[in-house]
Chains A and B, each alone.
Chain A
Amino acid sequence: QQPVQSPQAVILREGEDAVINCSSSKALYSVHWYRQKHGEAPVFLMILLKGGEQKGHEKISASFNEKKQQSSLYLTASQLSYSGTYFCGTGPTSGTYKYIFGTGTRLKVLA
């Protein structure tokens, strides 16, 4: 079952902040975040591990609450280059080695 992301789409002005949420029905060991520009392949942003470890990338940070099986991606002072579709992905769980991605959140940053 795919993780559910919210919102599905968001439009921002340059300099504004945004939060993208990812919720899973299964217990999570790790959460991965990727960004995909239109017509391109997804590119890795960061990974969060069980235990609450947070990692950041430029002005993008994320959190992981394993009890709630949720992760959030925080984009601060957004730039035009942040436009794209963001995916959360969940790492292997319960003896399988499947990486399952969420439904995606389309982010558009306007000048």
Chain B
Amino acid sequence: NAGVTQTPKFQVLKTGQSMTLQCAQDMNHEYMSWYRQDPGMGLRLIHYSVGAGITDQGEVPNGYNVSRSTTEDFPLRLLSAAPSQTSVYFCASSLDGTSGIETQYFGPGTRLLVL
């Protein structure tokens, strides 16, 4: 199993540009989520999904969109990039996020720089 994969590893954007961060998992996990990590702020939840077709907002959803058309994929879209979105983005998945007892597996992260 490849686990949780993310692409790209690193991206530079100009303010106002849009892009999609890709996340895929091959563990048949129902629960997937996106976090951003900034110095001193820990991991902050952007969006999450409890299964295909079901998504919901996390703690910092503004400026980001998600969709979940398949169990495997959970892309994160930046609609109009801003310097404040410069961060490291992690995707995570777990077998069943509704129980509260499942381990989350993280992808390697995407480093995004918005100029």
A interface, CB within 8 angstroms of B: 2, 5, 29-30, 32, 34, 40-44, 47, 49, 87, 89, 91-92, 96-104
A41 in contact with B45 (CB, 8 Å)? no
24 CB contacts below 8 A, A to B, read: A5-B42, A29-B100, A41-B90, A41-B108, A41-B109, A42-B43, A42-B106, A43-B106, A44-B103, A49-B100, A87-B43, A92-B99, A92-B100, A97-B48, A97-B56, A97-B98, A98-B45, A99-B45, A99-B48, A99-B104, A100-B45, A100-B59, A101-B43, A104-B42
Q: Which of A96, A97, A101 contacts B35 (CB 8 A)?
A: A101
B interface, CB within 8 angstroms of A: 31, 33, 35, 40-45, 48, 50, 56, 58-59, 90, 92, 97-101, 103-109
Q: Which of B41, B48, B105, B107 contacts A98 (CB 8 A)?
A: B48
Which residues of the partner chain B approach A41 to less than 8 Å between Cβ atoms?
A: 90, 106-109
B59 in contact with A98 (CB, 8 Å)? yes
Which residues of the partner chain A approach B44 to less than 8 Å between Cβ atoms?
A: 2, 101
**Cα separation A23 to B31 with both chains bound (whole Å):** 25
B42 in contact with A97 (CB, 8 Å)? no
**Cα separation A40 to B48 with both chains bound (whole Å):** 21
